[in-house]
DNA sequence: ATGCCTGTCTCAAAGGATAC
DNA sequence: GTATCCTTTGAGACAGGCAT
């Protein structure tokens, strides 16, 4: 530690009441007012220097509120408040700054609920500051809502969503959503997309899918007489219903299965032979052991279940 | 401890490919 | 045209990381 008080003072100045002070430190400020630190003249220093309330400083404090003074002079709330009390500008020793207090009350929802990252980007607040403000608001009787503070990922997601809302609303499948949101994982993309759908009050991809399936089923049932009629060729039916041949074939297959007409004779031998593996191994293990794709493994396990009795 | 978000495993319906 | 096997597409359950 440097024992600063043993050095000679830079100069001697008068404070706002005309008392002489030894100056040991000085610095200029954004406001143009020079801030001095030192000791009262001829006093024996015993600890750190203290701020000197000069006439210039006093004039400045009289013209600006406390928040402005703190900011423009780079002084702490304690120092500014102390001088304001000396100058008769402040009745009580109160840490809450009027402008800051108003600001906090205005932004209480954000302070309680937004992510620290967002608050930092938007208002330059540190996490500590935000926490302090929240403490202040709680003392004022402000309660946080049920929600937790939003976290980093959530904030990043919401920012992407804000920029892509219209495009998101028009997505027709999960891959479009994934590329739009730059998500590698479909699960994550769907989660975000579902939130947007709920927010905008539009159907989710799942709603659309179910709706689509239902419409298709109803259409097929509605035209089942024609679709299953063997008197017409597939081509004739397709023309009559304005569908492709493929669609008619699929519809016929669907209806047969629905009515229990269709009898499948699949790879039952293989399935029965590997019954134990199908029942005990996981899908992943089955894929590895028999060199199957996931869909194939699931399909074969399904076959076993259907034929177990 | 709790809720948010993501990754993994699993399942299901529709439709494509292909042998017959 | 049909039956069978498989892929594509979408979703749910659950666990774990993370911030609060």
pLDDT 10s digits, A16-70? 777 777 787 788 888 788 888 877 765 554 455 678 888 888 888 888 776 777 7
Cβ atoms of A134 and A108 within 8 Å: the answer is no
Find the Å distance, CA of residue A21 to C1' of nucleotide C20.
50
Q: Which of chain B's bases lie under 7 Å from a protein CB? A: 2-16
Q: Point out the residue nearest to C6 (C-alpha to C1').
A: A296
Selection from A308, A307, A304 nearest residue A281 by Cα: A304
* pLDDT digits 0-9 by tens, A62-100: 887 767 777 778 777 667 767 776 676 654 333 344 556
pLDDT of residue A123: 61
pLDDT of residue A233: 73
Q: Which nucleotide lies closest to A191 by the C1' atom and the CA atom?
A: B5
Task: For A6-57, give the DSSP string.
Answer: GSPPSEEEE-TTS-EEEEEEEE--TTSPPEEEEEETTPPP-SS-EE---HHH
pLDDT of residue A213: 67
Ordered by start, the domain boundaries in chain A are: 4-86, 98-139, 152-209, 210-258, 268-307
Taking each helix axis as running N to C, give the angle between helix A174-181 and helix A186-200, from 0 to 180 degrees, rounded to the nearest 10: 100
Judge if the beta carbon of A154 is closer than 7 A to nucleic acid strand B.
yes
Q: What angle do CA A185, A187, A188 make, to 5 degrees?
A: 70
Q: Point out the residue nearest to B10 (C-alpha to C1').
A: A283
Find the Å distance, CA of residue A229 to C1' of nucleotide C8.
30
Find the Å distance, CA of residue A300 to C1' of nucleotide C2.
21
pLDDT of residue A98: 53
pLDDT of residue A228: 75
Judge if the beta carbon of A296 is closer than 7 A to nucleic acid strand B.
no
CA distance A258 to A213: 14
pLDDT of residue A202: 73
| CB within 7 A of strand B (chain A, 230-289) | 246-247, 250, 254, 282-284
Find the Å distance, CA of residue A245 to C1' of nucleotide B16.
14
The residue written with tokens 């809302």 in the block is A165
Ranges in chain A, pLDDT < 70: 1-8, 41-49, 66, 77-78, 81, 85-86, 88-106, 113-162, 172-173, 181-188, 199, 206, 208-213, 246, 256-267, 306-309
């Amino acid at each position: 530690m440097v024992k600063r008080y043993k050095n000679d003072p830079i100069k001697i100045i008068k404070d706002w009441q005309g008392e002489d002070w030894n100056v040991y430190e000085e610095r200029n400020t954004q406001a143009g007012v020079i801030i001095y630190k030192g000791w009262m003249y001829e006093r024996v220093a015993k600890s750190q220097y203290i701020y000197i309330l000069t006439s210039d400083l006093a004039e400045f404090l009289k013209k600006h509120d406390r928040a402005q003074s703190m900011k423009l002079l780079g002084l702490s709330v304690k120092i500014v408040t102390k001088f304001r009390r000396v100058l008769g500008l402040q009745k009580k020793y109160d840490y809450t700054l009027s402008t800051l207090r108003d600001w906090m009350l205005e932004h209480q929802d954000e302070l309680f609920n937004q992510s620290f990252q967002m608050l930092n980007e938007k208002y330059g607040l540190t996490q500590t500051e935000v926490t302090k403000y929240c403490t202040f608001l709680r003392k004022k009787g402000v309660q946080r809502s049920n929600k937790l503070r939003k976290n980093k990922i959530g904030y990043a997601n919401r920012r992407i969503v804000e920029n892509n809302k219209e495009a998101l609303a028009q997505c027709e499948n999960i891959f479009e959503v994934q590329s739009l949101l730059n998500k590698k994982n479909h699960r994550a993309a769907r989660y975000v997309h579902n939130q947007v759908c709920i927010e905008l009050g539009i159907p989710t991809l799942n709603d659309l899918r179910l709706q689509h399936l239902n419409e298709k089923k109803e259409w097929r049932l509605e035209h089942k007489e024609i679709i299953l009629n063997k008197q017409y060729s597939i081509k004739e039916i397709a023309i009559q219903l304005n569908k492709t041949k493929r669609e008619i074939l699929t519809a016929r297959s669907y209806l047969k299965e629905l009515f229990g007409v269709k009898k499948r004779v699949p790879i039952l031998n293989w399935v029965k032979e590997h019954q134990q593996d199908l029942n005990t191994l996981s899908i992943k293990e089955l894929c590895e052991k028999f060199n199957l794709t996931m869909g194939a493994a699931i399909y074969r396990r399904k076959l076993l279940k259907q034929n177990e009795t």
